[in-house]
Amino acid sequence: MSSRNENYREITWQEFQTKLLDMGLVQKLDVMNNNAVRVALRPEAADVITTPHRKYYFRIGSVDIFERHMEEAQNRLNIPSSERIPIAYHQDVSVINAILQLAPTLLLIGFFLYMAKRATGAASQQGPGGLFNIGKSRAKLFNQESKVRISFKDVAGADEAKEEIMEFVKFLKNPAAYERLGGKIPRGAILSGPPGTGKTLLAKATAGEAGVPFLSVSGSEFVEMFVGVGPSRVRDLFATAKKNAPCIIFIDEIDAIGKARGKGGQFGGNDERESTLNQLLVEMDGFNTSEHVVVLAGTNRPDVLDPALLRPGRFDRRVTIDRPDVKGRQQIFKVHLKPITLGVTDIDALTEKLANLTPGFAGADIHNVCNEAALIAARHRKDTVTEPDFEQAIERVIAGIEKKSRVLSPEEKKTVAYHEAGHAVAGWFLQYADPLLKVSIIPRGASALGYAQYLPKDQYLYSEKQLLDRMCMTLGGRVAEELHFDTITTGAQDDLQKVTKMAYAQVSAYGMSSKVGPLSFDDPSQQEPQFQKPYSETTGQMIDAEVRKLVDEAYQRTTRLLQEKKPLINKVAQLLLEKEVITKEDMERLLGKRPFSTDTSPTHRPNEEISPPPFPQDTPPDDVKFKNV
């Protein structure tokens, strides 16, 4: 019953029948909401009922059963049809009950409104249109009013790439100078290279130098959960570019939509990605070169891009931005040192030394070193950043933070010291090993209990003698353990992995085995795992035998060398246990000068067809190496 019927007293059907109906006191019945019946009594009922409650109701299971019982009761009382008790039906619903009944519908409507608002939120910021604006391109337009502050002077260490990109800027600024000779402006260029080498920075500098409208968009912004949004945004992007021609379009991380078609399945979002790629191919082949629209794209995975995207006529040029050499690193250091308060006056000498200490570093790594040096100086409450701060920053970037909480037992510490002493002594007396910079037995990073830091120079060709010396130097730690202890430990796992990769690369990729011959089974462009080897089982057994022979020869050579220098290993290990960190100067006091000249490069010149040296792929080819123990 509703709150308006709270004054009614509830009775049972039997009470209603015996005390009210059989006594002839009922005047009318009102069925409320098909589940309760209110009883209206005759006026003379006041003389019969002496209780204060004269309003009654009783509950019913169903209307049909109630009507049948009423008919049976009135037939039993022989009540004529004209005098039978009237029954009325009413619906009495309160406001609260109505809201509760509508609550699921209201919640469902609110959910859909919230999702629609989120889906169209970014599109509505670009202008009116709401849901109809979701297919609009999200590219940011930079023009004379919203000019990019970065220019080519802020980009260092990529002179050749800047020159090639600068040519696009010249095309757009003065196209007549090229078109009068019958030349056509290139339609696009791919900026490729390892992560952190400055591809996006170079594109920003192009926007700052061009003086023409610049549209910047990420490849992932074309991919949405709605079907057809990606192609629609591609069409809108190129339509906007045509309106603002001459214009430059930059698509960052184009591999998000430009992967080769027909790979990775044909379901769900993959179909939408391929539709977006197809629309991009059509648009790049559709606009005329006279419209002066240039498309630049950045990626660090050019090998996965669709061949149709890379063909001439779409992306005519491929600009490779590699890790900088020592001169490039010096230029990058000068750029990143500008906002830092330095405690040295000779900037050229500082940047030259830092460039020599960071072989294999990309621009992002160098920026990280400069930032870490400033943080270290601030942590020690210094007013300026000095040279030792940069050295600590380089060490932290390479080997990780010191694990002061990781306390080694005396036996483990002694093992680590002799292990690292074996690396240091082996490299000291091997002609083609990299110059030693520092040896440490302080735990760093996730698993490095000690490391030896070397300074490899920028080099592109490696001879067999150089690779053999590097293998012997890498095996020096395991050999030193074997010579000075009754048993060996698991500390040489990382060294053995590197040696194995070097040996397999020499035999199966670089053709340095006389038995296997001048064959190369390595395909750098093949990124996906191969389930079938490109050679027979007999050739595989031959490669395994040659690799084992090569590693055994290096191990025996290292054993003979360190057996001869065993007293020197003891000296270095004892000094390590005493100081924990020793430098090149300490090694010279113990062992004397290295008996080799500093120039250990091969006599022949490098050429462009030689691949990087066969070192582990998780570190740069000329990275500062450290040994996990």
Residues with a known catalytic role: 420
Rounded distance between C-alpha atoms, residue 406 and residue 199, angstroms: 39
Return the closest-CA partner of residue 24 out of 6, 8, 48: 48
Return the closest-CA partner of residue 298 out of 211, 196, 209, 223: 196
- For every residue of 252-319, DSSP letters joined together read ESTHHHHBPTT-S-SSTHHHHHHHHHHHHHHHHHHS-GGG-EEEEEEES-GGGB-HHHHSTTTS-EEE
- For every residue of 427-491, DSSP letters joined together read HHT-TTSPPEEEEE-S-BTTTBS-EEEE-----S---HHHHHHHHHHHHHHHHHHHHHSSS--GG
Rounded distance between C-alpha atoms, residue 237 and residue 286, angstroms: 13
Record the tokens describing residue 354, joined without a space. 């830092």
Rounded distance between C-alpha atoms, residue 590 and residue 611, angstroms: 38
> Distance of alpha carbon 249 from its chain centroid, rounded?
24
Record the tokens describing residue 17, joined without a space. 């029948």
- What HEC string does 29-74 produce? EEEECCCEEEEEECCCHHHHCCCCCCCEEEECCCHHHHHHHHHHHH
What's the DSSP call for residue 16?
I
Return the closest-CA partner of residue 363 out of 233, 196, 211: 196
> What is the enclosing helix (H) or strand (E) of 320?
strand 317-320
Q: 566-579 and 464-484 helices cross at what angle (nearest 10)?
A: 70
Residues 6+ apart with CB under 8 A from 203: 191, 216, 250, 252, 296, 298
The b/e string for 163-175 (b: 16+ C-beta within 10 A; e otherwise) is ebbeebbebbeeb
Residues 6+ apart with CB under 8 A from 622: 359, 360, 456, 457, 458, 459
CA dihedral 493, 495, 501, 504 (to 10 degrees): -100
Record the tokens describing residue 278, joined without a space. 């197809």
Record the tokens describing residue 77, joined without a space. 């009382």
